Structure 1
Amino acid sequence: MLLTRDELESLIHARHRSPHQLLGMHPLGDGSGVVVRAFLPNAAKVRIEPTHEKNKPSFELQQLDPAGLYEGTTKGAKHVYAYDLVITDYQGGVRRTRDPYSFLPTVGESDLYLFGKGDERRIYEKLGAQLRTVDGVHGTSFAVWAPNAQRVSVVGDFNGWDGRYYPMRLLGASGVWELFVPGVGEGAHYKYEIQNIHGQVVLKADPYGFFFESAPKNASIVWNNKKFKWTDGEWLKKRREQNVLRAPMSIYEVHIGSWKKKSVAESFSYRELAGMLVSYVKQMGFTHVEFLPVSEHAYYPSWGYQVTGFYSPTARFGTPDDFQYLVNALHEAGIGVLVDWVPAHFPRDEWALAKFDGTALYEHQDPRQGAHQDWGTLIFNYGRHEVCNFLTANALFWCERFHIDGLRVDAVASMLYLDYSRKEGEWVPNQFGGRENLDAVEFLRKFNYLTHTECPGVVTIAEESTAWPLVTRPPYLGGLGFSLKWNMGWMHDTLNYFMRDPIHRKYHQNDLTFAMLYHFNENFVLPLSHDEVVHGKGSLLGRMPGDDWQKFANLRVLLGYQWTFPGKPLLFMGCEFGQRAEWNANSGLDWWLLGAGPFHAGLQRFVEDLNKLYVAEAGLWESDYDVSGFYWIDCTDQNNSIMSFVRQNQSRTSELVVIMNLTPVPRPSYRIGLPRGGVWREVLNSDASIYGGSNMGNLGGVSAEDYQVHGQPHSAEFVLPPMSILVFKSG
């Protein structure tokens, strides 16, 4: 035996940090031949046979220990050569395989250097489980970052989940452990068995895993997510050439598990959903779908916001290929795809990222920095290069492997502020004594820069609820670099207004005008999202005052205001037809309501027509963020709760006048100023009978008179239906 007793024990008990130094083929110290060692617990006999060079020797290995450690030498070769292990088990079965310990590392030094700097932009092609062909051998290379582990093995259904079979090697000071395992292919289930810094042996899912078992199981699955045949090239070309700020974007927010259900207990798969969702979104005229997080998550009631598999679409609805099919189908129909992305935190599940190698690796050690008190989750350590690399590469991964058109970043405020939802003494100031999380700021700037430069045309959207400045301005100007930001102030003020009884609205008209005082500070999305129909808030319809007629009339005006106000509208599923119940992620929407009287179907028809008008009229989107794109005609008639404004594009080829009567009192002869003469056609009336209204309006339009009102050179008398929004176009 050429091993010392300590070396033999380290292999038998799987605690050697670099098993490749002992296992595999090595030259003998005196240069007289080679030695081969293999640890094969279930082998009765092991023979070495050359793979390529048939003139190289074959020879038997001798068992050094009953645990399954074999060793053999030959004088017939002075140098290492490619060989196969021919293994006979105790039942007489024979199998032939290349030795995992005969291959060079599959992760290069430059990869590790860039990873250590936080700048390996496609680290997901290096770490994790990568299907490879090495020296003509098909298999999977496994690599995982666990710098403080004492030992890491890859275990799975290919080795009986036995950590003694495939201990991995530590690649220098990188903290990355690696091993190429021949014969392991797509569909193999695996985990990492880690002897952590405390000596405890734990099983961990792969942080870079491309696919997972369906919850509550959590094994990672080897998968090739590059084999799907995309047919959306035309869409991607258009996306690269488009300026999203000057393009139409009306967003339909969808939770995949509860949009429609097969049964009470069963959801539709990605592929089954594709046809139905594409058809519906196309019919309704939305330009984009935004999915609540699709990344793998163990806890379904988190709606995907507690991510356990950042590099995998959830297996609840199918494979990664199936999700790619859904995205491809939407693109072929001309519909953009946004997804919620969650780099703010992660759950404490012991088999996932938390205390990955026994230390606070992805999170902060100090709970004042590393724990979210509100959500019971852990906060990423944005000051660690490898952690930032994990997240920035993840953003690129979704855009490149799944052709995602935009990432809506959840809970940005919780990332930016060290004292977010904390009392005095519960947080640690930054190096300058401030409350700003400087590491998170730099991470967000880098994420936005990389996403926009590596994936032209992809948008990034911040869910940021504070007055942090320059969220949608580029980093070189001191901004965070997002394309768009959710306007949470507009959402709160607008809902507060529309929830009021109309008799009180004259005292609160500033709720609707205030947003224009800060509108041009950022590039805003106007969200009526899932957050507004959960946690006891009720549905949008349920929050409107009055009887059913008034509720639906109110909701039509609210949505009409949302679509005609500057910014990109976002609406959560079900709100477009007046879902009565609060959203429940465990059940499908109440589609049966569309057959229950005229109001629900009328509201749905109204949103459909809103979208058609929106897309057709550049004045509603081309100049959303230009001062010239919007101005009030009159917002001072509080007593009658009537407001009017103009939307137009820069060339004024699309010029629209929007009028809102925000009480149930009809105004049959109300004069409003107009920017030009001629006939103004009524192109949308929320009170039309097809929408469930009373059918008052301005059939044939109105003719502008040379009579100055509201500072405009012309004016006309309008019929304003009760509780209505009207849109007029000149010519």
Structure 2
Amino acid sequence: MSARPVETPSHPTPLDRGTLDALAHGTHRDPFGVLGRRDDGDGPYIRAVLPGAQGVEAVDARTGDSIGRLMEIENTGVFEGWVKGADPYRLKIAWPGTVQETEDPYSFGLLLGELDLHLLGESRHFELASALGANVMEFDGVAGVRFAVWAPNARRVAVVGDFNSWDKRRHPMRLRHPSGVWELFVPRIGPGERYKFAILGPDGAELPDKADPVAKSAESAPGTASVVAAPTAYEWTDDAWMAARSAKHLPDAPLSFYEVHLGSWMKDGRTVDWNFAIDKLVPYAAQMGFTHIELLPVAEHPFGGSWGYQPLGLFAPTGRYGKPEDFARFVNAAHAAGVGVVVDWVPAHFPTDPHGLYRFDGTPLYEHADPREGFHQDWNTAIYNFGRREVQNFLIASGLHWLEQFHVDGLRVDAVASMLYRDYSRKEGEWVPNHLGGRENLEAIGFLQHFNAVVRERVPGAMTIAEESTAWPGVTRSTTEGGLGFDYKWNMGWMHDTLNYMEQNPIYRSYNHDGITFGLVYAFSEKFVLPLSHDEVVHGKGSLIGKMPGDAWQKFANLRALYGLMWSHPGKKLLFMGGEIAQWSEWNHDAQIDWPALDDPNHAGVQRLIRDLNRIYVSEPSLYRRDCEEAGFRWVIGDDRANSVFAFRRHGADGDPPILVVANMTPVPRHGYRIGVPVAGRWSEIINTDSGLYGGSNVGNGGGLETTPVESHGEAQSLELSLPPLGVVALRAG
């Protein structure tokens, strides 16, 4: 039958009142069942929801000729009308003050392929951001953006943004059963568009508009919209780095992390962004000899005062510092300078901001329903439901996104202890035991093991590092051996014990001697990083130098001795920004490091010491090659409580000259202090924290000593040393 004349004012088969009202109010559950080009037996017609339009005409997509006019039904914003032919068409929409010509989103077929849906259904889609979220693409030869979001319990999901005046009626999405994923292709839009998802919960209640959980870009706070990102087109030039980095991350390699909060590192009168970091931070870290920059979380987060530890955009570098491609340029520049990049990653919990993941589709989708499992009382955040496969897939895909798309060299996983224990920071009756009746979070354990196993398989050479503050066994043991599978673990026990010892007046250190020695009891039970992190210089804890006892001279000497001990102790190194210049003030995330302090020679001396410690650390294999083996460490003097003196040796592989480290933790110089050594001949003094170069008193051993054939400490040869006050010296055989 031929089509009706286009001039006819009559409509195709009338919609029932319920359907019309649902379309008019944006609550229809199956928009593809009623919108787009249709045929009720009398001929083709088109139906569209365009509230606010003053007129709508359908035109042939090739010729631009009119094929029919759509008329509005009862001022509802729903337009329909008979059309000619079955060729591709566009809608010519007269808006107040402008005319828009575009393809009809409801003229396109299914978007996500069977493989995507299969992997999503099995929760094994580790390239999640390529399937869900906003992806710029061509569909049937038309450029636009495919939107997709997981919201299995929603009654309706619509995409809203600047492109449709944030009108939830304009772009309702199609549900793909049984995956729970909603999809829609919006033609003729592209990168830079802001958007969110407008969701009706299962009870029909309208939720606050939700940001995209897998958005690859987001607008800067205080804005909360997601942003359509440009397709990944960054041209990496770090092939040599990526090919060689596995060896740089092994337990027998030197690792020295410079922990940085970019927004408060340096202001310098410029906008703090990734370009600034390329110009300033990368060369500074390289000059200081750090092997890696470790960034506090750079995933998008709504509240700057959380420092990134309450993120909502786990796939999006924060818009505070630029676009995703700018972050990629930063990583590439760091690699070109010989510096790796580690980012802090937070899969433990998330904030409950209404635009975020919390009750995303009107149900506890990402979090536990029971607050005894799903709410973190300390941080007022929601806890991920690690027992849900889709949540595990979401988190693992996030971690892989940073490693694969941005060439990040490692993830430092935050708050692991809070994940491992169901009773973490909870009183009796405030937590739910596991199915065996215990306190272990078996689902979180399984997630961490799965995450680390996938990273090993897909991104060989990348590191995962656990911030885990308890004695949980096997954090760095392989998953095949029943461990959690991390490469390294922060040694929080070493940090607490060492700082507690250093804070003591030297008069009382003899009573706290175990604060230094106890850490060696368990030093090789895991592969450790020694952290002096941001956590130790906030919330009223003061700065590192502020913790040191004594007058100003003694404070600087104590801090230099702390660093001397740390860099010679088994374990990789991490220092938070500002510690390297001994700034007096506590870290303030709204300010910057106290760079003017470097005008004082004492502060400049500490900075010079850190640079030299890093240089010596990476050039002396005995200081790192057996970091994780008992054979790499030997106590020489661990019981001189009366003098607060410690002496130990570090050993590398066969042929590496041993290094003797001696610490005098009192302000009294000690001359003629004899220590046995295993190698006769000259021992060169490679570090002395009391050197005048660092602001010290220059008590030392003149650059080195010859052994004498006097038995001491079970050795036939010995050295007669001068130990500087509150100082650490290290001597190498040869």
Q: Secondary structure at the match of 1:587?
A: coil
1:595-618 superposed Cα distances (whole Å, 9 cap, x missing partner): 02x211111111111011001111
Following superposition, the deviation at residue 447 of structure 1 comes to 0.9
Structure 2 Cα separation of the partners of residues 131 and 607 of structure 1: 47
For 1:634, which of 624, 634, 637 is the aligned residue? 637
* In structure 1, distance between residues paired with 2:85 and 2:108: 21
Q: How far apart are residue 377 of structure 1 and its match?
A: 0.7
In structure 2, relative to structure 1, the CA distance for the partners of 1:241 and 1:49 (3 Å cut) is farther
Whole-Å separation in 2 of the counterparts to 1:188 and 1:704:
72
**Which residue pairs with 1:609 in the alignment?**
612
The verdict on how the C-alpha distance between 1:285 and 1:225 changes in structure 2, with shifts beyond 3 A counting, is farther
1:490 aligns with 2:499: no
Give the aligned partner of residue 4 of structure 1. Answer: 16
Tell me, in whole angstroms, the C-alpha distance in 1 between the residues paired with 2:77 and 2:384: 42
Q: Which amino acid aligns with 2:101?
A: R
AA in 2 matched with 1:622: R
| Equivalent residue letter for 1:25 | R
Which deviates more, 650-659 or 396-405? 650-659
CA drift of 1:114 comes to 1.9
Partner letter of residue 293 of structure 1? P
After the TM superposition, which residues 74-223 of structure 1 pair with which residues of structure 2 at under 5 Å, given as runs? 74=83, 76-77=85-86, 81-89=87-95, 91=97, 93-201=98-206, 202-223=208-229
AA matched with 2:194? H
The residue number in structure 2 matching 1:69 is 78
| Partner secondary structure for residue 729 of structure 1 | strand
Is the aligned partner of 1:58 residue 2:62? no
CA distance in 1, matches of 2:567, 2:246: 25
State the match for 1:543 in structure 2.
547
Deviation at residue 163 of structure 1 after TM alignment: 0.7
Aligned pair partner of 1:670 in 667, 673, 688: 673
Q: 1:333 aligns with which of 337, 340, 349?
A: 337
What's the counterpart of residue 372 of structure 2?
Answer: 368
Find the counterpart in structure 1 of residue 457 from structure 2: 453
2:330 aligns to what SS in structure 1? helix
CA contact (8 A) 1:289 1:337 kept: yes
Q: Distance in 2 between matches of 1:240 and 1:474?
A: 17
Shift of 1:148: 1.5
User: 1:74: Cα distance to partner?
Assistant: 5.0
Report whether the alignment pairs 1:271 with 2:271.
no
CA distance 1:226–1:493, change in 2 (3 Å)? same
- 8 Å CA contact 2:666–2:725 kept in 1: the answer is yes
- SS for the counterpart of 1:553 is helix
**1:568, distance to aligned residue in structure 2 (A):** 0.3
1:576 aligns with 2:584: no
Superposed CA RMSD in Å reads 1.7
Give 1:124 deviation, angstroms. 1.0
Cα distance in 2 for partners of 1:704, 1:41 equals 91
Conservation of the 8 A alpha-carbon contact between 2:344 and 2:413: yes
So what's the TM-score if we normalise by structure 2?
Answer: 0.95
Would you say the 8 A contact 2:690–2:700 is kept in 1? yes
Counterpart of 2:252 in structure 1 is: 246
Counterpart CA distance in 2 for 1:25 and 1:210 is: 33
Does the residue aligned with 1:593 lie in a helix, a strand or coil?
A: helix
**Superimposed CA distance per residue, residues 494-535 of structure 1 (whole angstroms, 9 cap, x where no aligned partner):** 111111111111122111111111111110000000111111
Q: CA 1:709/1:90 → structure 2, altered by over 3 Å: closer, same or farther?
A: closer
* Change beyond 3 A, Cα 1:56–1:389: farther
Show the counterpart of 1:378: 382
- State the shift of 1:241 in Å: 5.0
Q: How many angstroms does 1:87 deviate by?
A: 2.5
Q: Answer yes or no: is 1:14 the counterpart of 2:26.
A: yes
Match of 1:557 among 529, 542, 561: 561
- Cα drift, residue 33 of structure 1: 4.1
Secondary structure of 1:58's aligned partner: strand
Q: Is the 8 A contact 1:225 1:320 kept in 2?
A: no
CA distance in 1, matches of 2:54, 2:65: 24
Does the 8 Å contact 1:680/1:702 carry over to 2? yes
1:261 maps to which of 261, 264, 267:
267
Query: Kindly tell me: are residues 615 and 161 of structure 1, through their superposed partners in 2, closer, same or farther at Cα, counting changes over 3 Å?
Result: same
Unaligned runs of 5+ residues in structure 2 are 1-11
Equivalent residue, structure 2, for 1:42: 52
The worse-fitting range, judged by mean Cα deviation, of 268-277 and 57-66 is 57-66
The residue correspondences of 1:683-722 to structure 2 (distance < 5 A) are 683-722=686-725
Task: Write the letter of the residue equivalent to 2:191.
Answer: E
Task: Quote the Cα distance in structure 2 between the aligned partners of 1:175 and 1:644.
Answer: 63
Q: Out of 37, 54, 71, which is 1:25 matched to?
A: 37
The residue identity in structure 1 corresponding to 2:579 is C
Equivalent position amino acid for 1:412 in 2: V
Distance 1:104 1:651, change over 3 A: farther
Deviation at 1:15, TM superposition (A): 1.2
Cα deviation 1:669-710 (Å, max 9, x = unaligned): 010010111110111111111111111111141112233211
Q: How far apart are residue 592 of structure 1 and its match?
A: 0.8
SS at match of 1:245: coil
Distance 1:410 1:368 in 2: 21
TM-superposed deviation, 1:197: 2.5
- 8 A contact 1:225–1:401 mirrored in 2: no
Aligned partner of 2:5 in structure 1 is none
Q: Provide TM-score, normalisation by structure 1.
A: 0.96
Question: Is the CA contact 1:687–1:697 (under 8 Å) kept in the aligned structure 2?
Answer: yes
Aligned length: 721
**Letter aligned with residue 34 of structure 2:** L
- C-alpha distance in 1, partners of 2:620/2:154? 60
Aligned mates of 1:165, 1:570 — CA distance in 2? 52
Displacement after TM superposition at 1:90 (Å): 5.3
Give CA deviations for 1:558-592 in whole Å, capped at 9, x if unaligned. 11111111110100111111110111111111111
Q: CA deviation at 1:242?
A: 4.3
Does the CA-based 8 Å contact 2:196-2:209 persist in structure 1? yes
- SS for the counterpart of 2:163 is coil
Contact 1:115 1:385 in 2 (8 A): no
Q: 1:363 to 1:678 in 2, by over 3 A?
A: same
Greater Cα shift, 41-50 or 168-177: 41-50
Distance 2:247 2:730 in 1: 31
Q: Does 1:650 align with 2:653?
A: yes
